[in-house]
Structure 1
Amino acid sequence: MNTSVEVYKFAVFGGALTVMGGCMVMEMGAPRRDENGAIIEDEFSPMPIVLQYLRRTWKELTFYEKMIKEPSREKLLPDPLPAPYQPTYTLVLEFTDILVHPDWSYQTGWRFKKRPGVDQFLQQVANSDYEVVIFTSENAFMIWPVIDKLDPENKFIAYRLFRDSTHFIDGVHVKNLDGLNRDLSKVIVVDWNKQATKFHPQNALILKKWKGADDDTALLDLANLLQTIAMSNVLDVREVLTYYSQFDDPIAAFRENQRKLMEQMEEKEKENKTNNPPIASSWIRSFTRR
């Protein structure tokens, strides 16, 4: 009895799939028509009618697959502005878990929590010779209004790129920096997902994923790192990023390097004071010497 029921279920399921497949072929494989209803000839018109429908259906399915897996356009950003209006460096930022974190509660439902220091960070880097680009694997319809709230007057974020600008490979939305239309020696991409930047790992600064902690200071340290790069007029940012890519936490490594540098500067200053006393002190001693 149970066997009969199972066979019946499979038969119904198979029949439903057959009907759905047939409807899809009839819809997607039908020849196109002009405004008067006349059939428009295409490369499949000379074929037998069944083969025509199958080949058109396959072409449509391949087209939709390409739409999902490849960026919607080759050139993701417009041409750079003429000098001196174009910033020297381009900063590409993942939005989710770098600048904000999706948070849910019974009281508010879903909302995006701003990372500590995000406002100061955006202002600081935008005023430090960086063209700021949001390049996220999220959908535009969900993230666009959040970016509007973060930068309502479009003062700091120059461009916005979303999921439709990525390559979909092995379940990951990969960001191809070749499409940015910028000199890659001046492009820095900040992300938490190493796979999302695998086309250009030498341009990537991979941070730890921010999960909403209120005591986080990573963005402030990141701003200092980026400012240091800009003030140093680094010719190829990939050299700096390759160095920091060896650390699990590049921001902590930069913070430690800064601490060591300050200690060295303090030691140097002490040595200079010891070897070269202040002018005023030397002048007084020269007039009070017996």
Structure 2
Amino acid sequence: MCAWWDMRVQVAPRVPRICLPGKRVTSPDINLILDLDETLVHCSVDPIHDADVQFPVAFNGTNYQVYVRKRPYLDKFLQWIAGRFEVTIFTASQQVYAERLLNLLDPEGKYINHRLYRDSCLNVDGNYLKDLNVLGRDLTKTVLVDNSPHAFGYQVWCAARARARAHASKHANVHTPCVSARMYACVRADTHGVCT
């Protein structure tokens, strides 16, 4: 069995479409790309007794109530990264659900600069992969924090792996020191990290 950092994707070369607007001169230099589900939150359509947030969403003609448990200290984390990094949420989730959730996590749009959904991912054998070339950013100044090694198969050198939210303990969370340390390790030294 190979290690998660060896899960490189073997696909034909392609020219990705750029999904983000051009980087502003005033934007922070480093690009922080965050996964949503199981990295920042755990969501379920089954009731969660200690849910932090819940909201309705209609999908394929069916109405669902979504229960959300945030990763510990998520709100403080979002406040901390705002202005320090150009922040993009890049999720394999459907936009109809993820957009509702992100509007609850960042209702004033103060923390998250860009949002990318499933339609910006590549479906490879049933896995939704995130080719960071769609960002149109300098990948030597970019890091993706994601719980799924399959998601970052195109650019493992840009990845900091987060422990899935559903399995994370109170003290094992994506928090300021972990992300900042892993970001600079990944971006500056071209190393791989596992963020817990």
- TM value normalised by structure 2: 0.76
Q: Which structure shows the higher helix fraction? A: 1
Give the corresponding residue for 1:74: 17
Could you say which structure has the greater relative contact order, defined with CA pairs below 8 angstroms and 6 or more residues apart? 2
User: What do you get for the CA RMSD once the two structures are aligned?
Assistant: 2.4
The equivalent position to 1:92 in structure 2, one of 17, 30, 33, is 33
- Unpaired runs of at least 5, structure 1: 1-72, 245-249, 253-290
The structure that has the greater radius of gyration is 1
1:168 has 2:113 as partner: no
Give the corresponding residue for 2:189: 239
Report Cα offsets for 1:133-184 as digits up to 9, x if no partner: 0000000001101100100000000000000001100110111111101100
Size of the aligned set, in residue pairs, is 166
Give the corresponding residue for 2:111: 156
- Unpaired runs of at least 5, structure 2: 1-15, 55-64
1:120 has 2:64 as partner: no
Instruction: Give distance in 1, aligned partners of 2:182 and 2:168.
Output: 27
1:251 has 2:195 as partner: yes
The equivalent position to 1:105 in structure 2, one of 32, 39, 47, is 47
Kept in 2: contact 1:101–1:112 (CA 8 A): yes
Query: What letter matches 1:116 in structure 2?
Result: P
Cα drift, residue 113 of structure 1: 1.4
Which of structure 1's runs of 4+ aligned residues deviate more than 2 A? Answer: 106-110, 225-230
Instruction: Give distance in 2, aligned partners of 1:203 and 1:243.
Output: 8
Kept in 2: contact 1:101–1:212 (CA 8 A): no
Cα drift, residue 237 of structure 1: 0.6
Kept in 2: contact 1:168–1:174 (CA 8 A): yes
Cα drift, residue 76 of structure 1: 1.0
Kept in 1: contact 2:29–2:141 (CA 8 A): yes
Report Cα offsets for 1:228-281 as digits up to 9, x if no partner: 578xxx5971525x242xxxxx335xxxxxxxxxxxxxxxxxxxxxxxxxxxxx
Instruction: Give distance in 1, aligned partners of 2:186 and 2:150.
Output: 22
For residues 258-273 of structure 1, the aligned pairs below 5 Å read none
Query: What letter matches 2:41 in structure 1?
Result: V
Give the corresponding residue for 2:136: 181
Give the corresponding residue for 2:86: 131
Instruction: Give distance in 1, aligned partners of 2:76 and 2:149.
Output: 26
Kept in 2: contact 1:117–1:217 (CA 8 A): no
For residues 191-206 of structure 1, the aligned pairs below 5 Å read 191-206=146-161
- TM value normalised by structure 1: 0.52
Cα drift, residue 226 of structure 1: 3.6
Change in Cα spacing, 1:106 to 1:81, as seen in structure 2 (3 Å) is closer
Query: What letter matches 1:118 in structure 2?
Result: L
Q: Which structure shows the higher strand fraction? A: 2
Kept in 2: contact 1:125–1:227 (CA 8 A): no
